[in-house]
Structure 1
Amino acid sequence: MPFTLAHLSDIHLSPLPPAHVLDLCSKRITGYLNWQRKRRFVHDPAVLGSIVADLKTQRPDHIAVTGDIANIGLEAEYAAGRGFLDALGKPEQVSFVPGNHDIYVAECARFAARAWGPFMTGDDGETFPYVRRRGPLAIIGLSTGVPTAPFQATGELGDGQLGALATLLDRMRDEKLFRVVLIHHPPVSDAPAYKRLTDAGNFMHVIARHGAELILHGHDHRDMLNVIDGPNGARVPAVGVPSASAAPGLDKDNAGYHLYRIDGAPGAWRCEMVVRAVSEDGLVTEVKREML
């Protein structure tokens, strides 16, 4: 039986909890105004509910969430986010990595660790990068969430994570596991520079030298498939999903999620991707499936 991994991202839970004036004496003020002006109409809790309900009917073996549960990093958002993660499954069934909205300002890293820590911890208790062995998979979680200036949504891995990632990729290859890398910011993007992963080139250099079987990301709110270089001519798919709460017709792509059905063995892995998305009439349907 294939191992089924579900992937969703950019949850952007709504409604936004009440904000005290002191909370907004920071970058949060620009995010708050943007939320009130636009984003609260895009991110629909009913749409998110439909996506999660449909995902559960698919009975995946594991669920990956690649960031942006929060919106402007209010402390109350992390308790709500924990409720969302708990509703998806137990920490051993759900792997999470944070996005830029989750680490919106400096204090958010503490909020995230306290509320979501069990979902972003490896088999040996380690954090970023962490590794979780699930069936034939080695799920490797990275954090690109860093506090940034107003009007910036960049991400960064840093030399420490990149060096540790290289070691983990080699070790998981030697264990003959299918290596899935979870990251919020895409390694390849046509987004403006203020939204990109600043050390994407360094990340791709690690993949080119050490390999991976699959990279999953969010951030751009689009269905995306890019193929990047691995070692010895290998090609590594980097796949993004839309926001899981995007109301039809109001974001770059309608809300959706992906399923990956993985079987085989090293040198002969098979990975089928199934794309499920909300249609204009609000139903979640299969859009396409393809082998990666």
Structure 2
Amino acid sequence: MRTLVHLSDLHFGRVDEQLLAPLRATIEAIGPDLVVVSGDLTQRALSVQFEAARAYLDSLPGPQIIVPGNHDISLYNLVRRFLQPLTRYKRHITSDLAPTYFDDEIAVLGINTARSLTFKDGRVNHEQVASMRAAFAGIDPALTRIVVTHHPFDLPEAVERSEVVDRAPMAMQAFAEEGVDLLLAGHLHLSHAGNTAERYQIRDFAALVVQAGTATSTRGRGEVNGFNVIRIHHGCIEVDRYGWDDSARQFARLKTETFRRSANVWAVHIGGLLAAGL
């Protein structure tokens, strides 16, 4: 079994400072095998914000897989936005925009979906998809394949379709061909877990999509601050959603959802039956 902590949308520069120490303590108590951070480490891509984010990440367990978000590209400095869009991110966080983590149970790949030409939307391109194929080529079929992006490939029902990452159908077809199991994302400040069967009707394939809300930002959009704990067994994934309990001044587990795989289809596990949605 592998345990992942999935954080997103930290937004240093606009964090709720009271959450930082309890979040760290909770993560340390969980003892994850891997910490995943799916973008928007800063509010306005300022050096001081990246420095604060780096210091906090250094206080959390490792190893870590981190990808940038749209807020990690300068918004108002047009020179930086278009000519040096992720220079500060690469200086302070990581120069690797396609990070990987492989062990004998999981294969994790980060893909950068943040782009200079749009203020908030994201995109995946053909070169990134080709790199994904190369990264997963020849690995043990028993490994759970995980892709981490900032922008989501699927959405909660109430969210507009425009929030889906651009070129998602092209990427999803490649994910199906490579047997990708799990897609982790953030961006919306909303938590969500489900499969891709309805949006992408690909024969005999449905990946599991898990969305994290914001762990530390003051912009909760109707949800308490939170994060996910993902426990990966062979053919089974449990998603625990943790949320901030203001009265107790700590993060607590709010709900657990279980998903099982049948062939290449992930689906909610309810009372021993698979709700595949196919």
* Structure 2 gap ranges (5+): 75-80, 260-278
1:3 Cα deviation from its structure 2 partner: 1.5
Could you say what secondary structure the match of 1:164 adopts? Answer: helix
Ranked by relative contact order (alpha carbons within 8 Å, sequence separation 6 or more), the top structure is 1
CA distance in 2, matches of 1:49, 1:148: 36
1:250 Cα deviation from its structure 2 partner: 4.8
Matches within 5 A, 1:1-292: 2-14=1-13, 40=14, 43-90=15-62, 93-104=63-74, 105-106=81-82, 107-117=84-94, 121=96, 127-128=97-98, 130-149=99-118, 152-172=119-139, 174=140, 176-189=142-155, 191-192=159-160, 195-229=163-197, 233-247=204-218, 250-264=220-234, 269-281=235-247, 282-292=249-259
Render the CA deviation track for 1:200-233: whole Å, top value 9, x for unaligned. 2222222232221211110011111231159751
Maintained 8 Å contact 1:136/1:178: yes
- The structure with the greater share of residues assigned to helix is 1
1:196 Cα deviation from its structure 2 partner: 4.1
* Structure 1 gap ranges (5+): 15-39, 122-126
Residue 244 to residue 275, structure 1, CA distance change in 2 (3 Å) = same
Q: Which amino acid in the other structure matches residue 141 of structure 1? A: G
Maintained 8 Å contact 2:241/2:255: yes
Identity %: 24
CA distance in 1, matches of 2:130, 2:220: 39
CA distance in 1, matches of 2:104, 2:227: 21
Partner in structure 2 of residue 22 of structure 1: none
TM-score of the aligned structures, taking structure 1 as reference length: 0.76
CA distance in 2, matches of 1:273, 1:191: 21
Could you say what secondary structure the match of 2:55 adopts? Answer: helix
Q: Which amino acid in the other structure matches residue 121 of structure 2? A: T
CA distance in 1, matches of 2:175, 2:213: 24
Could you say what secondary structure the match of 2:253 adopts? Answer: strand
Residue 134 to residue 252, structure 1, CA distance change in 2 (3 Å) = farther
Greater Cα offset, 189-198 or 276-285: 189-198
Greater Cα offset, 64-73 or 108-117: 108-117
CA distance in 2, matches of 1:280, 1:80: 24
CA distance in 2, matches of 1:250, 1:154: 19
Maintained 8 Å contact 1:11/1:48: no
Residue 250 to residue 100, structure 1, CA distance change in 2 (3 Å) = closer
CA distance in 2, matches of 1:103, 1:246: 17
CA distance in 2, matches of 1:262, 1:114: 32
Maintained 8 Å contact 1:158/1:199: yes
Maintained 8 Å contact 2:28/2:61: no
CA distance in 1, matches of 2:114, 2:66: 12
TM-score of the aligned structures, taking structure 2 as reference length: 0.80
1:194 Cα deviation from its structure 2 partner: 6.4
CA distance in 1, matches of 2:138, 2:178: 10
CA distance in 2, matches of 1:5, 1:213: 14
Could you say what secondary structure the match of 2:121 adopts? Answer: coil
1:51 Cα deviation from its structure 2 partner: 2.2
Maintained 8 Å contact 2:45/2:89: no
Maintained 8 Å contact 2:213/2:226: yes
CA distance in 2, matches of 1:85, 1:250: 21
Could you say what secondary structure the match of 2:93 adopts? Answer: helix
CA distance in 2, matches of 1:13, 1:135: 34
CA distance in 1, matches of 2:216, 2:148: 20
CA distance in 1, matches of 2:214, 2:258: 23
